[in-house]
Structure 1
Amino acid sequence: MSVELFTSDQASNWFQRGDQQLFLADVLDEQSGAAMSVGFARYGKGETNPWTMAYDEALIITRGAFTVRTAEGSVTARAGEVIYLRSGVDVVYAADEETELVYVTHPHWLAATGRSPYADRLGEFQPV
């Protein structure tokens, strides 16, 4: 299809990071034939996730408040705002309150991370 609509309710393959209240679900991935990944994330208040970016990413906050910390400083966004991250940067994702967001990555975040020196980090996420 050339035009598609997605909701978080349609996301069927949710993954959880350890025992945290941190969940991810792709709705477009490498198998979809799209040039980018798109998915939903849900973070409980206070949950954090340190990560090294192997891809560019846009985070569109749909509910709550979300902060991304880097060595250069922090950026906080609320519902209706977007945070953009460049490949190669070390970040800490942090939910200032219960947060839902949409992520868009290029190239595909899972494949890019799997080819990176940080591939072992993917094991932190398990199917729910």
Structure 2
Amino acid sequence: MSHPVRLAPFNADFTAQNGPIDIERRSMPNGLSELSAGIVRFPDGGRSEPWTLPYEEAFYVIDGELSLHVGDETIVVPAGEVVTLEKGCTVEYEGTPGTNAFFCLVPANWLETMES
């Protein structure tokens, strides 16, 4: 039986890129069944394409500033703050250069359920 508490270090096999965003899916190799978590980075800043969330998501901004564009509204999230996003909302993520944030989303297997 594996240990129920595990570190989730960086693993290049579980990284992805979405436009200007580097995504580190830290919980993926640990086999959590309900929660996905990791780090997003905007090394050079920038804005993503619109994305409609098939999951619930939250961010804690570690460094920089994260802006979420939802329709005509922009929510600016400075370092040290948390923001939540409801399933079904369409958002564009924008970060200033050097923005880093911790994210978590539910369900962890959202991608597999979309592909089936």
- Deviating above 4 A after TM superposition, structure 1's stretches of 4 or more consecutive aligned residues are none
Question: Deviation per CA, 1:87-128, whole angstroms, max 9, x where unpaired?
Answer: 0010000013320011000111xx324434xx6xxxxxxxxx
Whether 1:27 aligns to 2:26 is: yes
**In 1, Cα distance between equivalents of 2:47 and 2:112:** 21
Structure 2: stretches of 5+ with no match in the other structure: none
SS at match of 1:115: helix
Distance 1:54 1:86 in 2: 9
- Per the normalisation by structure 2, the TM-score is 0.80
Give the C-alpha shift of residue 33 in structure 1.
Answer: 2.9
Distance 1:73 1:3, change over 3 A: same
Which letter maps to 1:97?
P
Quick check: 2:42–2:96 contact (8 Å CA) kept in 1?
A: no
| CA deviation vs aligned residue, 1:58-100 (integer Å, no higher than 9, x gap) | 0110010010110261111111111100000100000133200
Call closer, same or farther: CA 1:33–1:23 in 2, change over 3 Å. Answer: same
Count of equivalent residues: 110
TM-score (norm 1): 0.73
Distance 1:66 1:3, change over 3 A: same
Structure 1 stretches of 5 or more lacking a match? 120-128
Is the partner of 1:102 in helix, strand or coil?
A: strand
Map of 1:82-93 to 2, 5 A cutoff? Answer: 82-93=82-93
Distance 1:48 1:114 in 2: 26
CA contact 2:53–2:90 (8 Å) conserved in 1: yes
TM-aligned CA distance change 1:115 to 1:2, over 3 Å: closer
Task: Calculate the aligned-residue CA RMSD, in Å.
Answer: 2.2
Q: Is the 8 A contact 1:36 1:104 kept in 2?
A: yes
- For 1:58, the aligned partner's letter is A
Shift of 1:34: 4.1
